[in-house]
Amino acid sequence: MSDPRILILGAPGAGKGTQSKRLCEEYDIEHITTGDALRANKQMETEYGTPAEYMDAGELVPDPLVNEIVAAALEDADGFVLDGYPRNESQVEYLEDATDLDVVLYLDVDEEELVRRLTGRRVCPECGASYHVDFNPPEEEGVCDECGSELVQRDDDTEETVRERLKTYEENTEDVIEHYRGTDEFVQIDGEQSPDEVWADVKDAVDAQAE
């Protein structure tokens, strides 16, 4: 099979990052994630201001900044998993001009579960691994299993910003899900199962589409 080109969709906290990491290891593909790229450049001054002004308010960063990140990353990748993009109709159009996709995964999770997951999340600033204080704890509290770094909470994982992010998702990104739902590449996955169960469905979906 040639390197799969995967799009992973889902609300904030649905498990996109968690599953993307496993996809990259399993298929040896690139993780293209606008959220991580923006976090690495949060204080960068642009004509629209800094990404931080939007991210910490739970709003979308302006399309031109985000499209540029994706265009550059796609140029360097054969296979990839695209996580956090597209988030509105104009980004969908941009992506459709830039590349084809082999499989579109949608992780379906209820709103209250999303809030619990996001407010309890801890992330590794070094390797990007994602944990949860109750649902997916590291072996040693506050320490990354993979690389031993100290875990941190994301600035936008406070309950107030989480509610804003979910509102932004409803207003902008639910239409993106509907855009892909009718296509042959679309596979909906029950994202409320355990991480291992979700992974089993994700892998089955990718293997089936790539056959």
Catalytic residues: 16, 87, 121, 154, 165
- Pick 5 or 21: Cβ nearer Zn ion: 21
Nearest-CA neighbor of 31 among 117, 130, 142, 146? Answer: 130
**3-class secondary structure per residue, 63-125:** HHHHHHHHHHHHHCCCCEEEECCCCCHHHHHHHHHHCCCCEEEEEECCHHHHHHHHHCEEECC
Site for ligand AP5 in 89-118 (CB under 6 A): 91, 117-118
End-to-end CA distance of the chain: 7
- Is the CB of residue 105 less than 8 Å from the CB of residue 189? yes
Binding ligand AP5 (rule: CB under 6 A), the pick from 31, 32, 87, 101 is 87
Nearest-CA neighbor of 11 among 202, 162, 203? Answer: 162
140 touches Zn ion by CB under 5 A:
no
Minimum CB separation of residue 102 from ligand AP5 in Å reads 20
Binding Zn ion (rule: CB under 5 A), the pick from 78, 111, 141, 146 is 146
- Pick 17 or 86: Cβ nearer Mg ion: 17
Q: Which does 67 bind (CB under 5 to 8 A by kind): ligand AP5, Mg ion, Zn ion, none?
A: none
68 touches Zn ion by CB under 5 A:
no
- Pick 130 or 209: Cβ nearer Mg ion: 130
Nearest-CA neighbor of 4 among 105, 90, 88, 91? Answer: 105
**Binding interface with ligand AP5 (CB under 6 A):** 10, 12-18, 34-35, 38, 54-55, 58-61, 66, 84-85, 87, 91, 117-118, 120-121, 130-132, 135-136, 165, 194-195, 198
